[in-house]
Structure 1
Amino acid sequence: MSDRSHRAPAAARRRRLPLRYLLPSLLLVAVIAMLMLRGYVHSEILADHRIRPEAATDKVPEKILDGGPVIDTRGGRETSRSIGEHQLVLTFDDGPDPEWTPKVLDVLKKHDAHAVFFVTGTMASRHPDLVRRMVDEGHEVGLHTFNHPDLSYQSKKRIDWELSQNQLALEGAAGVRTSLFRPPYSSFADAMDDASWPVTKYIGSRGYITVVNNTDSEDWKRPGVDEIIRRATPKGGKGAIVLMHDSGGNRSQTVAALDRFLPELQGSGYKFANLTEALGMPGAHTPVSGLELWKGKAWVYAVEASDNITGVLVVGLAVIGVLVMSRFGLMLVLSGVHARRVRRKGFAWGRPITEPVSVLVPAFNEAKCIENTVRSLMLSEHPIEVVVIDDGSTDGTARIVENMRLPGVRVVRQHNAGKPAALNRGLANARFDLVVMMDGDTVFEPATVRELVQPFGDPSVGAVAGNAKVGNRDSLIGAWQHIEYVMGFNLDRRMYDILRCMPTIPGAVGAFRRSALERVGGMSDDTLAEDTDVTMALHRDGWRVVYAEKARAWTEAPETVQQLWSQRYRWSYGTMQAIWKHRRALVDKGPSGRFGRVGLPLVSLFMVLAPLLAPLIDIFLIYGLVFGPTEKTVGAWFGVLALQAVCAAYAFRLDKERMTHLISLPLQQLLYRQLMYVVLLQSWITALTGGRLRWQKLRRTGVVGVGLGGRVPHQRSTSVSGDERRPVA
């Protein structure tokens, strides 16, 4: 075979590898993009609240300072116009507001009056339906910038951006462009100064008429309805452009004043018209079509989507907050109850268990680890037989065990059929009624088997979960998993033990009553999490499943992100399969129903939903750091971290572990959640698309040694092939 043919499959694998991350990554990027858009539209990052103080006016033409409130600098002109007698142009700034703008529109419609609404791009983008209503009901709409900054502080590029984005929102909302513009923080024409005049001239060069006012209701001060009416009423029948607001705060006084102001002045002969109508000018609106219209609509739809998605994410954040607090509260309380129970003086499960135990060790290509595993078992303080089931290894795993020639150790060979089949083969070859199961990369302490089987003194106990620990915890990934094992798994197991709904007997260290396994049909290959599957089956059959904290086992955790991903992918997908397989427990009666209505919801919430939503904590941390409120966001995030640290410290104390590894907890929370998000999301995708995973084998290094003292005798072992049983020599 040519080198090219060897290289092609490897290259194809390299090309395919990123695809497993593609959809979760795209979803994460899309969520972040929607949050960024929301922050952008809600003016939480681009807003500039500086207001320039008054400046000199020597560069402003006198005719502008002494002229009317409508300033036209288009095409190099420097003219201004005023409103004729007995004509009022009502103008409303800063909207549209979802609460007050509809009320203002209702009053205007009630009294058959028109007005000009100077809308900001942020508000128009968020409430396009109100802008459409303004146009449909005959009002004029003008620009008030996108983010409401004082334009005298801004560059021409920023001014262009403010105008174009404001127009884009207007086009998307109502399908029109406008030629009217009002600068934020503007006042009367005689307030024009050397800082604002150049901006007004530049605005005119972009095709806009600048509209200020000559009558200010000062409704933003909320001085009372009577005072608003008094200030808005011109003297001696003069015409005016009246400044009011339909957004920016409580506008109830504005609405109430408007409902009196309109009929009173209409009765005095005043007409409330649009600006261009009052001036006898062409209309301010120009319909848009084609690409410009679709760009505007796309913008409005994107903003609407960002608000809706953010709303959903906020609900998700609330859910994860409740789940996190509930889980931590339950763990702290119930793990304390568990610790006091097992340490209570005179506590015993029943009669001491002294009879021999069968230890099953399924192994597939464990050449680097299997010797340490078997030698650790030879130091056991409890009488055992060891059955190593070689599941079609190609690295000489079985031969290594056979060459060790240890007493009480048998090797059973089979063609590669997966871990459940290997365990069932071992169960068929086991001699004793109590069966301990462990992984081929795990090391037991001398007391592990003895501690693991003592709960069987209670005849209602069908299975026992041991205390799995990370042996290779010196690397950063290993330290993170060490925290997870001590806090996330073992503290959980104490809680589930008290609630009598332990979801999983860990494959690394667990014990079973043979009769209990036989009643549920042994280890099933229906799911990829055979340990979770069989544990749920035992609960449904009425057996009690408990946790033996002193039955410690040291396992080799994945040392790369790829290996960790593969392992957790199988775990999470297998857990989802097991939940689905046992879903009928929700409506069952008896022990099955009890587990279904207590255990399944807890497992679904804490092991499937919570990790899937957990990245929201960090996503909103980033959002808060960028858009604010920064202090509250950082405080909330550190509050959650502090609560996790308390739980972790308590778990480490219960397990008598050193606290130094908790130094990496903040980094673990930032990065680990994202990995679990990818894993769980990919598991959901696999489940929904009907995919199926194989039993994925992790690459082992054999770094977890016996290290428990004592010397292991080297004696002959006996090999068993197929179903044949041979006596131990």
Structure 2
Amino acid sequence: MTTTTPARGRRRAPSRMERAAGRAAALQKPRVILALLLLLALGSVMLLDGYLRSEIGNDARVRDGAAYDEVPRKILDGGPILTFSGGTAKTQSVPKKTIVLTFDDGPTANWTPEVLEVLEENDVQGTFFMVGSMVSRYPDVVRTLVDQGNEVGIHTFTHVDLSYQSTARLRRELKQTQLALAGAAGVTTTLFRAPYSSEISAVDNYSWPVYKELGGLGYTSVFVDTDSDDWKKPGVSKIVRWATPKNGQGAIVLMHDAGGDRSQTVAALGAYIKKMKAKGYTFTTVSGARAELDRAAAAARGTGGTAGTAGSRQVPGQRTDGQRSGPGSAGTDPAAGAGTGAGGAAQAAQRKATGATLYEGKALVYAVAVAEWVVPALSWFLAVVGVAVMGRFAMMLVLARRHHRQRNRRRGRGGGFRWGPAVTRPVTVIVPAYNEKECIANTLKSLAMSTHPIEIIVVDDGSEDGTAEIAESLGMPNVRVIRQENAGKPAALNNGVRNARHDIVVMMDGDTVFEPDAVHQLVQPFADPEIGAVAGNAKVGNRDTLIGAWQHIEYVMGFNLDRRMYDLLRCMPTIPGAIGAFRRDAVLEVGGMSEDTLAEDTDITIAMHRAGWRVVYQEHAKAWTEAPGSLKQLWSQRYRWSYGTMQALWKHRKSLTDKGPSGRFGRVGMPLVVLFQIVTPVFAPLIDVFTVYSMIFVDFRAALLAWLAVLAVQLVCAAYAFRLDREKYRYLAMLPLQQLAYRQMMYLVLIHSCVTALTGGRLRWQKLKRTGEVGTPAGVN
């Protein structure tokens, strides 16, 4: 054993990258927060979109054995307009020969404008009971509707049956719809119609408390006299007939401008209006009908509308002394102040929205506009990403099978696969080591068992734990220990290359152990003079823990599918630091291991491609490495890997325009790496978020089946990779949990890296804590 120790001097000054890393260190936590905030913002937009589409909390009114004994008989026998004045329930009926056209469940972008066109042509106004989520999605339609003189009412925000909801949910549904109306058209309203309601005689013990609560809040509940049943699409003639009141009675008529194909409703509406006008009917709104009733009652008593006369209606939520109280107070409920004024004349149910209500409403409408644009665009984009991911799986399986069959041909079939004449000359193995006291002995002992002649150079990179002394104490004759001040792994590897005695150098990590024939298998491709570097097969040694098992699955799939694919396409992106071999002259030709990036292995691999060398994968050269044993260490390692890969790709971005054979990586490898190692993984969390969104808001069964189908495809790919590498299938039981937990962490790591790259930060090499639990090859089989 020989030892080389350079002269000690003053400790070197920090490098530019290290100084930048120090300045950037304080920014890492804010970047993580920024990445999480971006995900949170997207999740919030998707939740808002799902809520707007009324797919959550939506239910049907199915009620058996309804009871009515708690509802006053005078209410059940009364008219369709229900108010509470001074806490007393009162009803009103529409005057004779008067029609109040009401439309439920809108607005929509297609049918509501057509309904409005018919109303305008016939000089008729209607009352539209709107669903708040629809108002938020189509504010322009609501604005046009109000500008034409039509009246609006609330039909809840999510079209939920309020009979089964809490008071808090009731108030939330009202407030959200009021805000939507304020943001869309600058108005609020006191009119309300409950979903699934019909005639007032259908009010039962379940719904009566809801209407009392609404009355206390200042709302007027509106029922129907005549239902056109247009939602059944029975034909124009039947809609007209069913909507016609009997014996000249006045009526509140129910139609719909949403909820499906409303072409029959539009066609019937014009015919209905003409028919009823011909019979002497007049058309008005709910507020217009109430005003007419109040005027008639006042005239009949000759009071001129004095408060308290028959037919008058007290202002909801307003005391007789003019002072507002309760829920109708300013700033507490958008319905405040609307209703009947002093003197008994009915005012319009609408009032102009002001103050916080107006601004909150506009904010809601703007947020909905963003959600309405983002979610569909995202769904299309993720569909493209999903197709790309599935295409990648298919391509990996096909090319991996072809690679395996090509490299493992038996000698009876075309003479078997050979790189050329067997490579038997000695090679140099370089072991960079920094504080590797737990692992260095096992690493060197595994190399001592090598079946190929080697010299071993241990480059001690300023270790402070006696790593060099342990290497020297083993007394191995073919080991040289070179000490240097701490300068980083690239500098240690370059030092080893300069001191290598042979033309082929094998590079490994100080925590890795080789199988006895690993070196021999690794150097055989160099029989082909076009090959400049060879990637080996790195395997996780500490796979008995949950984190280790997850990484084991990842390594097997990555090395046995990805690398085989890249090998056949002649665009291998990375020679793993744990086990790789290079022609010494090729390394020197490209300038050695660069310190420009944190992924020096990816950097030099791309550089060798651009220099015209071929890089291949040797599946039979196996090494065992110690994977991070904690989530914190795993995050640090993958963060460095991801960020370093981005640095390397950016450094070699001009490879996209390289010509000739040396430009193959830029034409094929660069796009594949960017697409499958950066773009799709960055957006993969969105696929998971969208899957959850679909499960909650769209179709749980279909979304679950789609997720299970993707998992099945991944399981097939993993099983095939395990088969190629002759691994035990039992670890695949961890795959579902890996997809639910481990993969999400890897996504966040990559997003963190992207944010760091976009904000111009730099990272320093982060040393992982080792345990030395990966022993000699015999101990990890």
TM-score norm. by structure 1 comes to 0.90
- Distance 1:626-1:56 versus aligned 2 partners, 3 A rule: closer
Moved over 6 A (4+): 13-17
2:522 maps to what in 1?
A: 452
Structure 1 contact 528–574 (Cα < 8 Å) conserved: yes
In structure 2, give the amino acid aligned to 1:650.
Y
In structure 2, give the amino acid aligned to 1:410.
R
Alignment of 1:661-700 (within 5 A): 661-700=731-770
Identity of paired residues, percent?
Answer: 61
Separation in structure 1 between the aligned mates of residue 455 and residue 271 of structure 2, nearest angstrom:
96
1:343 maps to what in 2?
A: 408
1:233 maps to what in 2?
A: 244
Separation in structure 1 between the aligned mates of residue 675 and residue 619 of structure 2, nearest angstrom:
24
1:568 maps to what in 2?
A: 638
Q: Cα offset for 1:283?
A: 0.9
**In the alignment, is residue 274 of structure 1 matched against residue 280 of structure 2?**
no
Structure 1 contact 487–647 (Cα < 8 Å) conserved: yes
Q: Cα offset for 1:57?
A: 4.8
Alignment of 1:129-140 (within 5 A): 129-140=140-151
1:727 maps to what in 2?
A: none
2:358 to 284, 289, 293: 293
Q: Cα offset for 1:688?
A: 1.2
Structure 2 contact 560–724 (Cα < 8 Å) conserved: no
- Distance 1:65-1:405 versus aligned 2 partners, 3 A rule: closer
SS of corresponding position for 1:657: coil
**In the alignment, is residue 76 of structure 1 matched against residue 67 of structure 2?**
no
**In the alignment, is residue 391 of structure 1 matched against residue 391 of structure 2?**
no
Alignment of 1:226-625 (within 5 A): 226-235=237-246, 238-266=249-277, 270-280=281-291, 281-345=346-410, 346-625=416-695
In structure 2, give the amino acid aligned to 1:341.
Q
Separation in structure 1 between the aligned mates of residue 267 and residue 652 of structure 2, nearest angstrom:
62
2:56 maps to what in 1?
A: 45
- Distance 1:110-1:677 versus aligned 2 partners, 3 A rule: farther
In structure 2, give the amino acid aligned to 1:317.
L
Separation in structure 1 between the aligned mates of residue 166 and residue 737 of structure 2, nearest angstrom:
41
Structure 2 contact 25–763 (Cα < 8 Å) conserved: no
2:178 maps to what in 1?
A: 167
Structure 1 contact 74–206 (Cα < 8 Å) conserved: no
2:721 to 620, 626, 651: 651
Q: Deviations over 1:336-380 (max 9, x none)?
A: 000100111211111211111111111111121112112211111
Gaps of 5+ in 1: 1-12, 710-729
**In the alignment, is residue 92 of structure 1 matched against residue 115 of structure 2?**
no
Q: Cα offset for 1:592?
A: 4.0
SS of corresponding position for 2:100: strand
SS of corresponding position for 1:148: coil
1:719 maps to what in 2?
A: none
In structure 2, give the amino acid aligned to 1:366.
E
Q: Deviations over 1:305-324 (max 9, x none)?
A: 34444334434532442232
In structure 2, give the amino acid aligned to 1:608.
I
SS of corresponding position for 1:73: strand
Q: Cα offset for 1:120?
A: 1.5
SS of corresponding position for 1:500: coil
- Distance 1:698-1:78 versus aligned 2 partners, 3 A rule: closer
Q: Cα offset for 1:15?
A: 10
Deviates more, 1:571-580 or 1:145-154: 145-154
Deviates more, 1:127-136 or 1:269-278: 269-278
Separation in structure 2 between the aligned mates of residue 107 and residue 154 of structure 1, nearest angstrom:
37
Separation in structure 1 between the aligned mates of residue 491 and residue 165 of structure 2, nearest angstrom:
72
Deviates more, 1:332-341 or 1:131-140: 131-140
Separation in structure 1 between the aligned mates of residue 709 and residue 96 of structure 2, nearest angstrom:
63
1:214 to 213, 216, 225: 225
1:30 maps to what in 2?
A: 41
Separation in structure 2 between the aligned mates of residue 112 and residue 467 of structure 1, nearest angstrom:
81
In structure 1, give the amino acid aligned to 2:729.
M
1:119 to 107, 126, 130: 130
SS of corresponding position for 1:94: strand
Structure 1 contact 75–204 (Cα < 8 Å) conserved: no
Structure 2 contact 225–253 (Cα < 8 Å) conserved: yes
Q: Deviations over 1:529-573 (max 9, x none)?
A: 111111112222222111100000111111011111111011100
TM-score norm. by structure 2 comes to 0.84
In structure 1, give the amino acid aligned to 2:553.
I
In structure 1, give the amino acid aligned to 2:41.
A
Separation in structure 1 between the aligned mates of residue 381 and residue 85 of structure 2, nearest angstrom:
51
Structure 2 contact 515–777 (Cα < 8 Å) conserved: no
Separation in structure 1 between the aligned mates of residue 72 and residue 62 of structure 2, nearest angstrom:
23
Structure 1 contact 74–209 (Cα < 8 Å) conserved: no
- Distance 1:543-1:264 versus aligned 2 partners, 3 A rule: farther
In structure 2, give the amino acid aligned to 1:425.
N
SS of corresponding position for 2:523: helix
Structure 1 contact 612–676 (Cα < 8 Å) conserved: no
Separation in structure 1 between the aligned mates of residue 122 and residue 528 of structure 2, nearest angstrom:
84
SS of corresponding position for 1:249: coil
Structure 1 contact 122–146 (Cα < 8 Å) conserved: yes
**In the alignment, is residue 635 of structure 1 matched against residue 700 of structure 2?**
no
Structure 1 contact 90–243 (Cα < 8 Å) conserved: yes
- Distance 1:440-1:677 versus aligned 2 partners, 3 A rule: same
Q: Cα offset for 1:638?
A: 1.5
Q: Cα offset for 1:634?
A: 1.8
Structure 1 contact 387–426 (Cα < 8 Å) conserved: yes
Q: CA RMSD in A?
A: 2.4
Separation in structure 2 between the aligned mates of residue 20 and residue 368 of structure 1, nearest angstrom:
34
SS of corresponding position for 2:586: helix
In structure 2, give the amino acid aligned to 1:289.
T
In structure 2, give the amino acid aligned to 1:388.
V
Separation in structure 1 between the aligned mates of residue 430 and residue 113 of structure 2, nearest angstrom:
73
**In the alignment, is residue 176 of structure 1 matched against residue 193 of structure 2?**
no
Structure 2 contact 624–777 (Cα < 8 Å) conserved: no
Separation in structure 2 between the aligned mates of residue 448 and residue 51 of structure 1, nearest angstrom:
71
Q: Cα offset for 1:244?
A: 0.6
2:120 maps to what in 1?
A: 109
Separation in structure 1 between the aligned mates of residue 505 and residue 70 of structure 2, nearest angstrom:
96
Q: Cα offset for 1:692?
A: 0.7
Separation in structure 1 between the aligned mates of residue 627 and residue 514 of structure 2, nearest angstrom:
15
Q: Deviations over 1:599-623 (max 9, x none)?
A: 1111011111222222234334443
Deviates more, 1:340-349 or 1:411-420: 411-420
Separation in structure 1 between the aligned mates of residue 631 and residue 190 of structure 2, nearest angstrom:
57
Q: Cα offset for 1:243?
A: 0.7
Separation in structure 2 between the aligned mates of residue 326 and residue 604 of structure 1, nearest angstrom:
15
